[in-house]
Amino acid sequence: MTAVNTGISCFLIAAIISILPLQKIKRYTYIISSIGSLGFGLFALSIIFSAPSKLYTLNISSAFDFVFYGDALSGFFLLAISVLAFAVSIYSVGYTKDMKNPGAAGVLYNFFILSMYAVVLSGNIITFLISWETMSLLSYFLVTLQRDEESARAGLIYAVMTHAGTAFIIALFLVLYTQTGSMDLAEIKLYASHIPDTLKNLIFIFSIIGFGTKAGIIPLHTWLPRAHPAAPSNISALMSGVMIKTGIYGFIRINLDILQQSPEWWGITVIVIGAVSCIIGMLYALMEYDMKRLLAYCSVENIGVIFLGIGAAMMLKSNGLYTASSIALAAALYHTLNHAVFKGLLFLGTGSVMHATHTKNMEKMGGLLKSMPYTGLFFLIGSVSICALPPFNGFVSEWLTYQSLLSGFNSVSIASKIAAPLGAAALALTGALAAACFVKAFGISFLGMPRSSHAEDVKESSASMITGMGVLALLCLVLGIFPGLTLRVISPAVFSYTGAGIMPTGAGFLHIGGSLSDLSPAAILISIIIMFITTVIFIFIAGGKRKISYGDSWDCGIKALTPRMQYTATGFTKPLRMIFRKIYLPKRDLNISYIVKPFFLSSIKYSGEITPFLEVYIYRPLTSLIRGAARRVSILQSGSLHLYLGYILATLILLLIFGGN
Amino acid sequence: MNNWIEAYFVIDFISAGLLLTAVSMNALKRIESCVKAYTLNSWLLASLIFVIALMNGETHLYAAAGITVLSKGILIPLFLGRIIRKMRVTHEVEPYINNVVSLSISAVLVAVVYTSLSDAVFIEGFLKNVLQISIAVLLIGLFIMITRRKAVTQVIGLLFMENGLFLAGFSLTSGMPTIIELGVLFDVLMGVIILGIFAVQIRRTFASADLDRLNTLKG
Amino acid sequence: MEYLQFILIIILSPLINGVIRKLKAQMQGRPGPGLFQSYFDLIRLFKKDMRISNTTSWIFGAAPYILFTSTIVAAMIVPVITTVSPFSVMGDIIAIIYIFALGRFFMALAGLDAGTAFGGEGSSREMTVAILVEPMLMLSIFTAAISAGSTNIAMLASISGPIYTPSHILALSAFIIAIIAETGRIPVDNPDTHLELTMIHEGMVLEYSGKYLALMEWAHYMKQMLLFTLAVDIFFPAGIINNTEPAALAMSFGIYLLKMFSIAFFMAIIESSRAKMRFFQLPSLLEGGFVLAFLSLLTYIMTGR
């Protein structure tokens, strides 16, 4: 408990110092926050490996008290939050140097992290809802911190979406409360088997909508690509890395932990949602040239991958395949941790780039790898990890997802047998899309020639920013090559769901008993290193030392290769825009003005955009419907004070007549 | 005063006065008269509290009576008079509906209150009438707010409502704790000041204290 | 010996490429280069000086090494002549596909590094083709993996019993289309062309010269042979042995070479008889392949064969 007390006090102290009028040292308070997250990290490890217990109870009244409860699942999420909060806090020291209102940012930052901790540690309904709402509100303030038109609009959409989601969560908890008569989550779990099936289905659907909004599944993702770019980068890292994971936590807590048993169609539904989210999310990410929007869509994709794992876990358990179900849930949790690490890293990298170039538009970047070598290297590591390429961490979790989905074939029902491999195929497609997306993201912004004056004369970020990113980049590798160690942290949470553990045989080694499939990322890395050395020696023997001369790139003899001739991000994804035009519904507009038609052109203006069909065909009709209804209701809202008072009088008199006796 | 029957009589008498001053609001044509009606109402309220204080012998009720006189009987009327002078509004009340109709409607309101609260079980003893009157005063205050055009008359309506509420509080509890009374009084004082400032501002912005102009503010 | 079977792929891969080139030339009525021409090409490239664009960063230098070593590591996992495959603990067939993706990722980055339009075009198209190929490749592998009950390649290769079932044949067709696309052969890409507007693979390596180019080319040969080897491991495992006796190994090696030559022959036929497709016609071919792979899976699930 000392660790957690230290943690809480660190965050509170950091928050208090942030309000004090100490402009010079304000940004160093983030160091205190990073110590705080270390404390929480240790605490997380301790509750993962101890029995579930009530940590702290604060009695307000008989019907209402704050209960904090820790088990392996909340411990795991606590760990994920702590890991990212640690790195982001270090990064923030340098990042917040030129921030406009560092005091507000500091206070909100610290309380935001604490509220996320509170969400995953909540032991009863009231505590959960209050923490959840606090977290949402604080993140809303963080999104609108920059106080411009874009942030305000993004904040509004975020607030509307997240509260719509919260409404469903409240409804869900009300159903649970009325059915079990208890506020306490552990007690609800005991009585959960008595809930009738129809109500369980209702709870499941509500949890998908409620927690899915926070997690950002398709089609409830619309706030993500708006809110993430609007927030400062350290905040987007936290929001995208861990805050949306609280949605995952809530979903797992309700459906996997409290309800335990689920019918097969739940799992298949979740797999379908996951598959759709990861494909559509990545397709939209590919089309973005705003780096932060790209990463935000990419979060939608990764949430989809996590939901694939969760869905597989539910489906396999309902088919009685407990070991496979464990693997699936472990894959989902593993990916949760991985995504926190590499998405955090990528957002921090984007923050550094924006800090240096003052633009989010990658069409204006280029050649940054030379001026920002460390940021570039870490961004590359993040990209490789998110594309699930070995030996980095993304690969391990996706591999586990593949394995669990493939063992879905051992299910009894045909529906499961078909759903599982199709989910795996969706994952394969996503992997390829992700690779294309991050070749574009890294290649266009960091390689080639500077595309605009923004990308010229940029300076590398400050030491603390590099350290913050370096920690995460190292974690990408460590989580990638030591899956056995990571799974030890995950398996207690998994065990409580399926009763079947996944015992890795070694730190860097995975063995799936059922299918005799092995994976050893550590061995892959070592082999790559050995082979690299061998290759270098071999080349030296075969070719000897040869002269290297430097010159311009091949320019077809024109002798004037300008940065404008490079491939652009838009050009890079043009083939996909054509191939998937049914989804993108691209629009293009070509304006040619002539001096002498048709021979002499004065200018050609090309503009193209894609149609976000979910927004056009779902959200816009919905909002116009709501607006129409609101307009009809607004007749009551005449603006006349006297009429309003008249309503009150009428109500009072009616109350007197009908309620008086 | 140890004679209970006389006490009842006095209380009934004062209550009737309270109701009468409230109803009279419907008939008054000048804003200054309205303020006077309110002043009278407040004095009557204070004396009612004073009578109850004499009966119960609780010292804090004396204090309440004193504060009521001071704030509602003196301070607020003075302040209102100042606003009226400052705004230089026409002195007519300009109601939406004419006096006869509004008088009859307030009569109906009083009737509704009397019938609906006639056999309410939660009221015991001598203060039953007072409760009915207090609710009636409250509703009349609200009714005045609805039917009057000017911002100042709105304020007066609100103040009547508040007096009604204060009375209702007394009738139910025979004297609330002093701190609450003080709080309420302070609240009313602040409310009146704020509303007064608003009224002046409205006048300045719309070149009229007519609240109908506020319609344009809705979204 | 079982530890060193991946060396076979490293050494023999230029030969297989030479065989395809020779056969293709013969079919087109040309004498064509010698069988060992690919070796000579590599040796000459290794001995050449390099010219590197000023625009490039360290990615440009690292990509050939990453591509080359990652392909070797993929080769280590694959059983070539015996299913006693000690390196298969390193990963399974899914890992191989992702190791390929690692190489491709860096190759595509290298294409963008020089800042030319050709490189960018090559990268863009390579990644686009990969997006279309990957699901089909995976689905066809899944069919095999599900029927074998494992994604371990040694297990896939040592499966006994009837494997020429309807589902396997459908999966094989999809797999062949995937191989053609992955190795950059006609009708997807033309390995012999440097015609600027049609090239995919060549576009990405356009800026390379000397030993970097040699590494890139060699890695490409190895990947091609690896995919062929995967095809025979999964779909024609007959003849591969499950022990390490020298005599049996020699026998298995002979059979393996025969299989490789057959596939090379098959590829040469396809290359000679088809015209290269327009880039935007490719999706219909590759979607067709995806449907085949999906049907194979469905067939296996429904009929169990």
Partner-chain contact A573 C109, CB within 8 Å: no
A573 contacts on C by Cβ (under 8 Å): 124
Task: Tell me the mean pLDDT in the region B105-118.
Answer: 82
A-contacting residues in B 148-177 (Cβ below 8 Å): 154
Q: Do A645 and B212 touch (CB under 8 A)?
A: no
By the CB < 8 Å criterion, does C92 face chain A? yes
pLDDT of A461 strictly over 50: yes
What's the mean pLDDT in A145-155?
A: 84
| pLDDT of B156 over the 60 cut | yes
* SS3 state of residue A588: strand
pLDDT value, residue A119:
94
Domain count across chain A: 4
pLDDT category at A20 given cuts 50, 70, 90 is confident
Mutate to test the interface with A, among C7, C50, C102 (most CBs of A within 10 A): C102
pLDDT in tens, C260-282: 999 999 999 998 888 888 888 88
Q: Cβ(B173)–Cβ(B52) under 8 Å?
A: no
| Interfacial B residues in 80-139 facing A (CB < 8 Å) | 96, 109, 112-113, 116-117, 119-120, 135, 139
Q: Which residues pair with C241 in a beta bridge?
A: C82
pLDDT tens-digit readout, B56-88: 777 777 888 888 888 888 888 888 888 888 776
Amino acid at A420: A
Nearest Cα residue in chain A from C283: A579
Contacts of C51 in chain A (CB under 8 A): 548-551
Model pLDDT, residue B1: 46
Mean pLDDT score of chain C, rounded to an integer?
88
Buried b (16+ CB within 10 A) or exposed e, A87-106: bbbbbbbbbbeebeebbebb
Q: In the predicted model, what is the mean pLDDT of chain B?
A: 77
Choose among A439, A550, A579: nearest Cβ to C109.
A439
H-helix or E-strand spanning residue A60: strand A53-61
Give the pLDDT score at B217.
Answer: 64
This complex has an ipTM of 0.95
- Cβ neighbours of residue A493 closer than 8 Å, sequence gap 6 or more: A48, A71, A72, A73, A75, A76, A329, A333
| Top-ranked range on mean pLDDT: pick from A268-282, A445-459, B124-138, C143-157 | A268-282
Q: Residue A378 has what pLDDT?
A: 95
Q: Say yes or no for a CB contact (<8 Å) between A661 and B218.
A: no
Instruction: With respect to residue A549, please indicate whether it lies within any of the assigned structural domains.
Output: no
A contacts of C112 (beta carbons < 8 Å)? 439, 443-444, 447-448, 567
Q: Is A589 within a domain?
A: yes
Q: Tell me whether residues B135 and A656 touch, CB distance under 8 A.
A: yes
The encoded tokens of residue C197 equal 């507007």
Q: Are residues A350 and A379 in the same domain?
A: yes
Q: Which residue type is seen at A16?
A: I
pLDDT number for residue A1: 66
The lowest-confidence range among A236-245, A260-269, A436-445, A586-595 is A586-595
Least confident of A113-117, A188-192, C25-29, C158-162: C158-162
> Does residue A315 register a pLDDT over 50?
yes
C114 touches chain A (CB under 8 A): yes
Closest approach of A564 to chain C, Cα-based (Å): 9
Tokens standing for C172?
């094989």
Decide if A499 is inside a domain.
yes
Task: Residue B93: give the domain boundaries.
Answer: 4-210
Asked if the Cβ–Cβ distance from C91 to A578 is below 8 Å, we say no
Residues of A in contact with C302 (CB under 8 A): 414
- What confidence tier does B170 reach under pLDDT thresholds 50, 70, 90? confident
Calpha distance A38→A88 (Å, rounded)? 12
Q: What is the pLDDT of residues C197-221, one digit of tens each?
A: 667 888 888 889 888 999 999 999 9
Contact with chain A for residue C54, Cβ under 8 A: yes
**pLDDT over 80 (residue B206):** no
pLDDT band at A661 (very low <50, low <70, confident <90, very high): low
Q: Are chains C and B in touch, 3+ Cβ pairs below 8 Å?
A: no
Residue A552 — pLDDT band, cuts 50, 70, 90? confident
- Do B146 and A661 lie within an 8 Å CB cutoff? no
Of C121, C123, C211, which is closest to A439 when you measure between CB atoms? C123
With contacts defined as CB-CB under 8 Å, which chain A residues touch B117? 656, 660
**Interface test with chain A among C7, C60, C87, C105, by most A beta carbons within 10 Å:** C105
Residues A520 and A598 in one domain: no
Predicted local distance difference test score (pLDDT) of residue C266: 92
Q: In the predicted model, is pLDDT for residue C233 greater than 60?
A: yes
> pLDDT confidence of B89, banded at 50, 70, 90?
low
Asked if B212 has any chain A CB less than 8 Å from its own CB, the reply is yes
Q: Is C49 touching A (CB cutoff 8 A)?
A: yes
The answer to the question of residue A558 being in a domain is no
Q: What is the rounded average pLDDT of the residues A617-640?
A: 84
If you measure CA to CA, which chain A residue comes closest to C45?
A543
Q: Which subunits count as partners of chain C given 3+ CB pairs below 8 Å?
A: A
User: A52-61, B45-54, B196-205: which has the minimum mean pLDDT?
Assistant: B196-205
pLDDT value at residue B162: 85
**A551 is written with which tokens?**
């010159």
B214 interfacial to chain A (CB closer than 8 Å): yes
Query: Is C108 within 8 Å of A516 when comparing Cβ atoms?
Result: no
The predicted pLDDT at position B184 comes to 73
The mean pLDDT value for A354-367 works out to: 89
Beta carbon pairs, A and C, within 8 Å: 264
Q: Given pLDDT bands bounded at 50, 70 and 90, which one contains residue C104?
A: very high
Tell me whether A638 touches chain B (CB under 8 Å).
yes
Which residue in the set C109, C115, C134 is minimally distant from A553, CB to CB?
C115
Is residue B205 predicted with pLDDT exceeding 80?
A: no
Question: Residues C59-86: what's their mean pLDDT?
Answer: 91
Per residue, the 3-state secondary structure of B6-43, as one string, reads: HHHHHHHHHHHHHHHHHHHCCCCCEHHHHHHHHHHHHH
**pLDDT for residue A370 is more than 70:** yes
Q: Are A532 and A618 members of one domain?
A: no
**What single string gives the DSSP state of each residue in A287-331?**
H--BHHHHHHHHHHHHHHHHHHHHHHHHHHHHTT-HHHHHHHHHH
DSSP chain B: ---HHHHHHHHHHHHHHHHHHHHHTTT--BHHHHHHHHHHHHHHHHHHHHHHHHHH--HHHHHHHHHHIIIIIIIHHHHHHHHHHHHT--SB--BSS-HHHHHHHHHHHHHHHHHHTTT-TT--GGGHHHHHHHHHHHHHHHHHHHHB-BHHHHHHHHHHHHHHHHHHHHHHHSS--HHHHHHHHHHHHHHHHHHHHHHHHHHHHHSS-BGGGGGGG--
**Other C-beta atoms lying within 10 Å of the C-beta of residue A459:** 9
pLDDT (tens digit per residue) in A386-404: 999 988 999 999 999 998 8
> What per-residue confidence (pLDDT) applies to B213?
64
Interchain pair C91, A547: CB under 8 A: no
- pLDDT surpasses 60 at B123: no
- Domains held by chain B: number: 1
pLDDT band at A37 (very low <50, low <70, confident <90, very high): very high
- My answer on whether A204 and A336 are in the same domain is no
Q: Which residues of A touch B214 (CB under 8 A)?
A: 639-641
Q: How far is A609 from chain C (nearest CA, A)?
A: 19
If asked whether residues A225 and A328 sit together in one domain, one would say no
Q: How confident is the model at residue C226 (pLDDT cuts 50, 70, 90)?
A: very high
The answer, yes or no, to whether residue A156 has pLDDT greater than 70, is yes
Distance from CA of B117 to the nearest CA of A (A): 6
The 10 Å Cβ neighbour count of residue A117 is 27
Select from A414, A524, A550 the Cβ nearest to the Cβ of C90.
A524
Task: Assess if residue A552 is contained within a domain.
Answer: no
Say what the pLDDT of residue A21 is.
77
**A309 and A326 both lie in a single domain:** yes
Q: What is the DSSP string of A227-251?
A: HHHHS-HHHHHHIIIIIHHHHHHHH
CB-CB under 8 Å, C131 with A432? yes
Q: Which residue has the higher pLDDT, B189 or A145?
A: A145
In a domain, A566, yes or no: no
- From the CA of C98, how many Å to the nearest CA of chain A? 6
Q: If you average pLDDT over residues B7-21, what whole number do you get?
A: 82
Checking if the pLDDT of B45 tops 60, the result is yes
Q: Identify the pLDDT of residue B34.
A: 87
Does the pLDDT of residue C194 top 90, yes or no? no
Structural domain for A589, as ranges: 573-609
What pLDDT was estimated at residue C128? 92
Q: What percent of chain A has pLDDT over 70?
A: 97
User: Mean pLDDT, to the nearest integer, of C228-247?
Assistant: 86
Residues of C in contact with A417 (CB under 8 A): 301
- Residue A114 in any domain: the answer is yes
What average pLDDT is seen over chain A? 88
Asked whether the beta carbons of residue B120 and residue A661 sit closer than 8 angstroms, the reply is yes
Tell me the pLDDT band of B122, cut-offs 50, 70 and 90.
Answer: low
Set of chain A residues whose Cβ sits within 8 Å of the Cβ of C99: 389-390, 524
Most A-contacting residue of B146, B153, B214 (CB-CB within 10 A), to test interface: B146
